[in-house]
Chain A
């Protein structure tokens, strides 16, 4: 079911869907909860990792992973994972910067924050911890056929995600070809502090116009819709892995995903600006209630004499009109029998969603759906990283990874009125990723 509407501002038809908010809300569906290929028998293999993600002046996150897997005999493998992450910092609210200071209300309705002139408005109320649990069972079913099933649970203060997955993989041509099919069903619910805002309702800012606290609260509540809202996601994945020669293998995957329900980010707003480019008011964003995505993925791994070259390309498209290209490459150089370094380069490019608008123009008809979240806009991003790994005499392995991630949002073709022309509406987001891993 697709809802379309014509917007007088852009004259384009728009469809509706939702994308989760920052690192605070994560539903990793089919990725990560996939069948384990092999494990050692009689022993638990554990992998632990600690990751630090820090953007300059914005979000900081720390994530810890503990994973254990064991082969219970003849490739009947159980794998479990626990992930804990903590997030703090500020994230772009979607409003545009202004030539003078601005005041905003926090999404919870409790408190305000001020943005300096010329600065991109960041909402710094993100402070959240999340727990994620995963369990996966893989076993052979028939000759050359394996099956896998798993569950996934993710919980944070205002978000809950539950998913189940199942997949089958069959080998052909003396295991040179493997065909796999997977299905994942997820159910998410969101219940943020302050409730869910009504789409396009104005953000209520207390500038002394309210007689008392209750009057403010009443005005704030008027912009809220009641209850939690949820989303269901169905993911399908079809893949073919083919051995090309003694050194090389390739993988081709097709992914199809539909999600239904609340996709709006309750913390994001749009600025309504006049023809001088000055903000008149702020309204909450609204995204469609449905999204259908497709992805085409190709990967090659090549065994060098002392290392591995790994390169992949992914093309993704959806009915929000977001098209993206991703190139990811890793080159592993074995320095010795026990140590290696691995440079990493990733390039990502995406086009803007149909309903993406950096701001709304005062006086124009409100579109059915709009979002100024730069993560739905046009952007390119690249990652440059280096990983160093070493194997101890005991067989345990340490690895250290340091990466730099930069996102460069771009103007998807919107004219900037008045004062907005002098401001940088699309600032880059720069982040450092550091990780330590230990396997034993």
Chain B
């Protein structure tokens, strides 16, 4: 129970990044982040195939999400 509380706390602290307005770049400084290879889902097919292999051969699965990053357009 205590272990779970500690883990949740660690996560909550990391989500405080939402309030870190000094981290980040101006909208026009996202040239490198806009590159295809910098997208979180840039190798989606590979990641999906790998996840399938590791899901079948190991006891842990998942963890990733693909939202955010990129050029920040629109």
**Do A and B touch directly, given a CB cutoff of 8 Å in the complex?**
yes
A385 CA / B64 CA spacing, docked (Å) = 20
A146 CA / B61 CA spacing, docked (Å) = 25
Task: Report the interface size for chain A: residues with CB under 8 A from the other chain.
Answer: 95
A352 CA / B65 CA spacing, docked (Å) = 27
Distance from B61 Cβ to chain A, minimum over Cβ atoms (Å): 7
A67 CA / B49 CA spacing, docked (Å) = 12
Interface string of B53-70 (1 = CB under 8 A from A): 111111111111111111
CB <8 Å contact, B60 and A350? yes
Interface string of A234-270 (1 = CB under 8 A from B): 0101111111111101011111010000000000000
Which residues 287-317 in A have Cβ within 8 Å of B in the complex? 293-297, 299, 301, 303, 307-308, 312, 314, 316-317
A435 CA / B45 CA spacing, docked (Å) = 11
CB <8 Å contact, B14 and A240? yes
Quick one: which of A172, A175, A303, A350 contacts B27, CB cutoff 8 A?
A: A175
**Does A108 have its Cβ within 8 Å of any Cβ on chain B?**
no
Known: A249-B38, A303-B33. A32 touches B44 (CB 8 A): yes
A139 CA / B37 CA spacing, docked (Å) = 22
Known: A178-B69, A246-B25. A303 touches B62 (CB 8 A): no
Distance from A390 Cβ to chain B, minimum over Cβ atoms (Å): 14
CB <8 Å contact, A348 and B68? no
Please name all residues of chain B whose beta carbon is closer than 8 Å to the beta carbon of A53 when the two chains form the complex: 53
A244 CA / B39 CA spacing, docked (Å) = 14
CB <8 Å contact, A249 and B15? no
A242 CA / B20 CA spacing, docked (Å) = 9
A379 CA / B60 CA spacing, docked (Å) = 12
Distance from B26 Cβ to chain A, minimum over Cβ atoms (Å): 7
CB <8 Å contact, B25 and A37? no
User: Which segment of A18-26, A213-221, A274-282, A411-419 sits at the interface?
Assistant: A18-26
Quick one: which of B10, B24, B30, B51 contacts A244, CB cutoff 8 A?
A: B24
A235 CA / B63 CA spacing, docked (Å) = 11
Name, among B41, B43, B46, the residue most crowded by chain A CB atoms within 10 Å (CB to CB): B46
Please name all residues of chain A whose beta carbon is closer than 8 Å to the beta carbon of B2 when the two chains form the complex: none
Which residues 26-71 in A have Cβ within 8 Å of B in the complex? 26, 28-32, 34-38, 47, 49, 51, 53, 63, 65, 67
A244 CA / B69 CA spacing, docked (Å) = 10
Please name all residues of chain A whose beta carbon is closer than 8 Å to the beta carbon of B38 when the two chains form the complex: 249, 301, 303, 308
- Considering the complex, give the chain A residue whose CB is closest to the CB of B31: A246
CB <8 Å contact, B32 and A246? yes
Known: A26-B56, A65-B45, A169-B67. A31 touches B61 (CB 8 A): yes
- Considering the complex, give the chain A residue whose CB is closest to the CB of B25: A246
A25 CA / B39 CA spacing, docked (Å) = 30
Please name all residues of chain A whose beta carbon is closer than 8 Å to the beta carbon of B5 when the two chains form the complex: none
New contact pairs (14) apart from A31-B63, A34-B64, A255-B63, CB-CB < 8 Å: A32-B44, A36-B41, A49-B49, A51-B49, A75-B74, A240-B68, A241-B40, A242-B24, A245-B23, A249-B33, A303-B32, A322-B59, A324-B59, A326-B60
CB pairs A–B below 8 angstroms (17 shown): A26-B52, A31-B51, A34-B67, A47-B44, A65-B48, A140-B74, A172-B18, A175-B27, A176-B72, A177-B20, A239-B68, A243-B72, A245-B23, A246-B31, A303-B32, A322-B60, A437-B45
> Which residue numbers of B lie inside 8 Å of A, CB to CB?
4, 7, 10-11, 14-15, 17-18, 20-21, 23-27, 29-33, 35, 37-41, 43-49, 51-72, 74
